[in-house]
Amino acid sequence: MTSSRLEAFSDGILAIVITVMVIGLKGPETDSLRSLLATVPGLLAYILSFIYVAIYWNNHHNLMISITKVNGSILWSNNLWLFCVSLIPWSTDWVSRFYTSTLPVMVYGVILFFTAISYFILQNQIIKYSDHSKIIKRIIGKDLKGKTSTAIYILSILISPFSVFLAEIGYITVAAIWFIPDNRFEKALGDK
């Protein structure tokens, strides 16, 4: 199978994930300011989750330009990653309604953590199979952003029983770390 089919399939799933999130976004119950303000937590949770999905879409695209064909390991690793991403709308809905409660905030972090781990697995499978393995390893380097993100997820999950607010700041921090697009792949491989 060519990598373009895998990328198209992944793009479709990511579009569905965003669609499910926006459908879950609740509008104000009445025409009052109070009702509008009551929707702010849901809107903020949606924005953060949308940013996460967009970051993954950007990074997935960058990873896909490094290969032209895929094998079974890459397909299954990609499906594992897509499964984890597909749980983001569910956890977004829960945390948007109970953003001051430990369990929803913790579960949101666990899903983000497993999404990151599954992406790391996918990245490693692509490095193994790509014709550009050495270049990809050089581009990714020590993956400080990835390792820092994982550490922040773990810390945020562990701290959530004591401070939901600090856990949420951790999730926002990871999104901020990745918000600026990474153009190292385009520079090293050229955008196909």
Read off the tokens for 184.
Answer: 């190292």
Q: Is the pLDDT of residue 186 over 70?
A: no
Q: Is the pLDDT of residue 175 over 70?
A: yes
Q: Is the pLDDT of residue 11 over 80?
A: yes
Alpha helix stretches (DSSP H) within the chain? 3-24, 33-38, 40-64, 72-86, 88-97, 102-129, 133-140, 144-159, 164-179, 184-189
Q: Looking at residues 95-107, what average pLDDT do you find?
A: 97
> Which segment of 62-76, 81-95, 97-111, 113-127 scores lowest on mean pLDDT?
62-76
**Model confidence pLDDT, tens digit, residues 15-37:** 999 999 999 998 999 999 999 99
Percentage of the residues of the chain whose pLDDT score is greater than 70: 94
Model confidence band, residue 192 (pLDDT cutoffs 50, 70, 90)? very low
pLDDT at position 163: 98
**Model confidence pLDDT, tens digit, residues 112-165:** 999 999 999 999 999 888 777 787 888 887 888 899 999 999 999 999 999 999
Closest CA to 186 of 59, 96, 18, 72: 59
Contacts of 64 (CB under 8 A, 6+ apart): 3, 6, 7, 10
Mean pLDDT of the chain: 92
Given a contact cutoff of 8 angstroms between Cβ atoms, the answer to whether 177 and 145 are in contact is yes
Q: How many folded domains does the chain comprise? A: 1
Number of Cβ within 10 Å of residue 33's Cβ equals 9
Structural domain harbouring 165:
3-189
Closest CA to 42 of 85, 96, 2: 96
Closest CA to 3 of 68, 63, 76, 77: 68
Query: How far apart are the C-alpha atoms of 9 and 65, rounded to whole Å?
Result: 15
pLDDT at position 2: 81
Model confidence band, residue 166 (pLDDT cutoffs 50, 70, 90)? very high
3-state secondary structure of 180: coil
pLDDT at position 43: 96
Q: Is the pLDDT of residue 111 over 60?
A: yes
